[in-house]
Homo-oligomer: A and B are copies of this chain.
Amino acid sequence: MKLTKTVSELRSFLAAKRAAGLSVGMVPTMGALHAGHRSLMERARRECGVVVASIFVNPTQFGPHEDFARYPRPLDRDLELCRDVGVDGVFVPEAQEVYPAGFTTWVDVEGPLSSTLEGAVRPGHFRGVATVVLKLLLMALPSVAYFGQKDAQQACLVRRMVRDLDVPTTICVCPTIREADGLALSSRNVYLTEAQRRQAPVLYQSLEAARAAAASGQNMTDRLKELVKERIAAASEARLDYAEIVDPDTFLPVAAVEREALLVLAVRFGSTRLLDNAFLSPPSAGAH
């Protein structure tokens, strides 16, 4: 497995693979890898000739009072996981390689995709995400890049950005991976206390309850959100940030589940924010 730290090393590595006729699959990550990332890498491994992962804790997507400094960075363990999956190359740039002196260009996906929900709670977050993802894609020029559905708004925004800017990469969004009790895997789960961890499956449970209600004919999103809020309120350690039901392409709120809709959820346990989401379908629409 090739470790690269500069864009030019990464490009040389990939140029040789491309010259050998291999298609490139990329898994951009911030490290602290778990089974969710692993599933993305495994999918890339099945679908692409050469698989490159990037590990970069992107400073520009963290707000001034967020967890950039304490974000976990277990590099050796991360590399071990990549090796185990059969990743061919790992790109681990320093911040000054990605944002050299004089850097001043930013990518903005305007509208509800960047301004509502996570965008409202974390001003500037999606500008940082869009900019770094574009840069990583242009560094490696993969045929396919893999993202997790767990960060639903990010996945949707990346898809929109790639389409709008004609980036020659297919964005593949893969299912959320969960613990046995339903908790969505996240690098931030390590922040949870034992008591918080015990209650954290309430996100999944409330999503499942809403999904079941929608599938049995409750299509009013106000009622579905109420149902979620009640469930979250019953968990003493949990504080709801938001529960919203939106159009999966635009992130505009919908009043009724008349076609597939996305229920997105953010819940605080102490200072740790957990995200989760589920697609809701009306009874007639069949399975997702």
Contacts and interface: CB of A to CB of B under 8 A. Distances in A.
Interface of A: 7, 11, 102-111, 113, 130-131, 134-135, 138-139, 141, 160-161, 164-168, 250
Question: For A103, A131, A134, A166, which residue has the most chain B Cβ atoms within 10 angstroms?
Answer: A166
Contacts of A167: 138
Contacts of A102: 160, 250
A26 to B, nearest CB: 13
B135 A165 contact: yes
A119 to B, nearest CB: 13
A131 to B, nearest CB: 8
A29 B115 CA distance: 34
Contacts of A104: 109-111, 113, 160, 164
Contact of A110 (B106, B160, B166): B106
Given A134-B165, A138-B167, A109 B113 contact: no
Question: For A109, A113, A134, A250, which residue has the most chain B Cβ atoms within 10 angstroms?
Answer: A134
B109 A107 contact: no
Nearest to A157: B105
A165 B134 CA distance: 7
A130 B109 contact: no
Nearest to A7: B166
Contacts of A11: 168
A42 B224 CA distance: 64
Contact of A166 (B109, B139, B168): B139
Contact of A160 (B105, B108, B134): B105
